[in-house]
Amino acid sequence: MSNCIFCKIVAGEIPSRKVYEDEDILAFHDINPAAPVHFLIIPKKHIPTLADATPEDIPVLGKIMAMAGKLAQQEGCADGFRTIVNTGRVGCQEVYHLHVHILGGTQPLGPMLMKHS
């Protein structure tokens, strides 16, 4: 996708602070961190949302989840972390390229969901 910021990061057109990279996935620090540790793990293949994932995507989705713990610990989340996948408009997804947020640090993160009135 020529206008996808994450595809441009994968292609090296936009710099990122990489945490990990292999042939299928890329992990990099969030540019607007919401916690002391905040990075994203994305598939290199453009998948717009989790709702768009197909059975063909199971291997890369599994790899993302399997690497999340290892990378979180590597980045300093020794006592736990949170994973978040925002999906679509209602899920507050801002970049339409599937991504998993990994958030953590030394203190509990607080409530996960915003309350609606």
User: For all residues of the chain together, what is the average pLDDT?
Assistant: 93
pLDDT at 1: 61
pLDDT tens for 58-74 read: 999 999 999 999 999 99
Are 39 and 27 within 8 A, CB to CB? yes
Confidence (pTM): 0.92
Strands (E), 11-53: 18-21, 25-29, 37-43
pLDDT at 115 over 60: no
Spot the catalytic one: 38, 97, 99, 101: 99
Using CA atoms, how far residue 72 sits from 19, 79, 112, in Å, is: 10, 10, 18
- What CA–CA distance (Å, rounded) separates 74 from 53? 28
Nearest to 108 by CA among 84, 85, 79, 83: 79
Distance between start and end Cα atoms, the chain? 37
The structural architecture, per CATH, of the domain 5-104 is 2-Layer Sandwich (3.30)
Q: Where are the domains of the chain?
A: 5-104
pLDDT at 18 over 80: yes
Q: Is 99 a catalytic residue?
A: yes
